[in-house]
Every structure is written in C-alpha cells, then in structure tokens.
Amino acid sequence: MVKKKVGVLVSGRGSNLQALLDASSDPAFPAEIVLVVSNVAGAFALERAAKAGVPTCVVSHKDYASREAFDAVMDGHLRAAGVEIVCLAGFMRLLSSSFVRGWEGRMINIHPSLLPSFKGLHTHAQAIEAGVKLHGCTVHLVTSDLDDGPILVQAAVPVLADDTPDSLAARVLEQEHKAYPQALRLLAEGKVTVEGRRALIHGPGVNIPVNPAP
C-alpha cells in the first residue's frame, strides 16, 4: 500500500496530532505523517512529533511582515517534504487565500462544534449558553471562510444539565481523537468527492460517527 504523505500544522499541545500519530502507526492506515510544522517554538506538539520520529520545523509568524509571506515559507516546507494532505491540528493562525487555494481539497481541519453552529472560539461556552442538547466536533475540508467547508465527519455528545465549558470540552475532545483519524483515512483512501458545499463519502467500509456518544 502506498501511503499518502501528510503534513500537520500545530500551535499548541497537539492532542489531535497525537491521535493522528497513533493512527498512522498502524501499518494498515493509508497515510503517514512526514512533517509537523509549528508557528510556536515551544509547542508541546513538537515534542510529540519528535518522540514519534517525525521531522519538525518551526516557522514563526512573527518573523514575516505579511500572512502571505509566512504562508509561503510553510508551503515550501510542506512541498519539499512531499506532503499530499495537510491537517490543521490546533493551528491558531488564519491562512491566506492563496495558501488555501494551493491545498484545495487536500487540507482538513477539526473544529470543536457541530458546524455550521458555533464557529470561532469558546464553542463549548457558546453551546451551553444556547441551550443545545447536542454538541460535538466536525472535521471539514478547509476553505477561505473561517470554520467553513464541506463536512467529512461529525461526532456528537449530549450536553448535560450540569456541564461547564471544561467538562463539555473534555467529552468532545475524546470524540475529536476518533473523528480526525477517520476523516484522514477517508480522504487518503480517495473516498471523498465534493459537490458544491457537500462532501460525499463513498465506498465500502465507510462508518461515520454521528450518533450521540455517552
């Protein structure tokens, strides 16, 4: 099996990166992480990558006068490593439209809400304040619009009466660690086609977590 080469962009602790590293350690997984790029030199995600034997590099956004210049350097590192799919895993920078266009259909992000609800930050507090009964996470293809793009995988959890943003976040995070590797698998196996705003999943063995999890 020829595995798809994946680059992961990170800014922080990298728990979703760890989920992807763990999944890709399985010989049967159709993708391998070949590079982890961080805009923060001290990000713990870099330690996770190094422990897994994955090459890393730091590209500090503070060193560049524009978003486009910063993105161009990241793009160069990704392409030099032969990356075919880009995963955003807690990458806390907005990407330029030119960078997004260059990876169109090959870049995915995980967001801690059931999109299109609760875009942006503080999604768990937003969900509690809105009084929704279900909350969760979404893996989607990246477009130039924030937290938008065709949805690949969603996983839901119930919102409990005594939930705090932290308690809800912890349950959602458990689902993120399952949903992200599954979405990467679908994309790497060529089981995704896009029609308009919809990502259509096809082929045998497709099992998408959409039901509420305890």
Can the peptide bond before residue 204 be classed as cis, meaning omega within 30 degrees of 0?
Answer: no
Catalytic residue of the set 61, 77, 111, 140:
111
Give yes or no: 111 in active site: yes
Provide the b/e sequence for 18-34 (b: ≥16 CB within 10 Å).
bbbbebbeeeebbbebb
Rounded to an integer, what distance in angstroms lies between the CA atom of residue 81 and that of residue 108?
18
Q: Quick check: 86 and 6 in contact, CB under 8 A?
A: yes
Rounded to an integer, what distance in angstroms lies between the CA atom of residue 158 and that of residue 167?
12
Rounded to an integer, what distance in angstroms lies between the CA atom of residue 143 and that of residue 155?
21
- Say which DSSP state 64 is in: -
Catalytically active residues are 111
